[in-house]
Structure 1
């Protein structure tokens, strides 16, 4: 076991992007390093391999923390690591859902790419997907009295099925409970278990694979060696 100081040092290095350990994320979370490296080498080349190694190192450091610490670490890591860029400029498409590896390769992503990368990273460090939802919202732009709403996507975390969710957002660095994000109007949310309407703790409309872009994303991740 690492001493507390060593764990804190490793976490700081990981957040700063300076960690060079060689680690292996366990198969139970769907991320087997050697399998992913082989698939990514074929799909993305040597740059992709370097990205996977860095990402795996970070996940291995963060998995030792408490669940709340994992939320903070993963949220901070991706908000620092990726810059916001719209899909048209990045991918020459109006709406493209990147895998975490694709986003890390570009060093940038749209709001859904931040949410997706955080979702899978938290899954890989042991947070149950039942506690995580990628949430489509309308974001109020320009203050509480503004009528201007913009489509946005965030990751939400539910400590229990009926708990108030915490919001992990690329636009606001602090993780806040939903009650402290009055600028966000939830429309629906989803994870690998299903689609949810606001206020419901149970899937309402089949499962998340029915979302065409989610299905495409899962297929791309499988091609990268990730279950």
Structure 2
């Protein structure tokens, strides 16, 4: 399977909450109070664990960061949106995902994407991708890491916890990829077309505007 990144979307725009702010924000008294109010006391423990994840040892490689982030978020609980949020399709931001202690594939992928940027992984190397999970016959989201613009990406996934190259994930059929700025539609496994701005993804733009303690949403049920 060939996963291709076109040169026209290599430049990545920053999200509203810049990655460099996240480490201090996650430990702020304001956010801690809000997390406890909305999600309960155990959410503070998860936030503390997340804060430790955001401060790796000096010299940690990209590969090690991928492993740390993938393992941390894959330990949270899978739950579909109607049961957890009472909506058919709700993209939680990382604070909501950690607070609720779980979510669906979009939530895993978005949280990994933001956290890797916070850890200093070059934003040009990261993508979010919609794929078809062939075994389950349903659409699915994963996070991609490209060592170079032309390399076979590594796939961070909550279905399969092993970080494997896209060429080894024949169970996934690429549909489109996107970042904070652009969308790329997969015409086939080897061809793709720039389809415009990521602003067309209403759930993506909505999630970014909710990235603060003022907009933390309580889940419909506790996990």
Structure 1 length-normalised TM: 0.74
1:193 Cα offset (Å): 3.1
After superposition, what is the alpha-carbon deviation per residue over 1:20-72, rounded to whole angstroms, capped at 9, x for unaligned?
xxxxxxx7623251587255246434545554333121110267410111111
- Where does the alignment leave 5 or more consecutive residues of structure 1 unmatched? 1-26, 142-147
Match of 2:60 in 1: 65
Secondary structure, in 3 states, of the residue corresponding to 1:204? Answer: strand
Match of 1:24 in 2: none
Q: 1:36 to 1:196 in 2, by over 3 A?
A: farther
Partners in 1 of 2:106 and 2:58 — Cα distance? 23
Q: 1:166 to 1:52 in 2, by over 3 A?
A: same
Query: Does the 8 Å CA contact 2:23/2:54 hold for their aligned counterparts?
Result: no
Q: Which has the higher helix share?
A: 1
Structure 2 length-normalised TM: 0.75
Partners in 2 of 1:111 and 1:36 — Cα distance? 26
Match of 2:176 in 1: 188
Match of 2:110 in 1: 116
Q: 1:155 to 1:149 in 2, by over 3 A?
A: same
Higher relative contact order at CA 8 Å, sep ≥6: structure 1 or structure 2?
2
Matched, 1:78 2:69: no
Q: CA RMSD in A?
A: 2.6
Q: 1:93 to 1:45 in 2, by over 3 A?
A: same
Match of 1:97 in 2: 91
Partners in 1 of 2:57 and 2:84 — Cα distance? 29
- Where does the alignment leave 5 or more consecutive residues of structure 2 unmatched? 1-17, 216-223
Matched, 1:213 2:188: no
Q: How many residues align?
A: 191
Secondary structure, in 3 states, of the residue corresponding to 1:205? Answer: strand
Secondary structure, in 3 states, of the residue corresponding to 2:143? Answer: strand
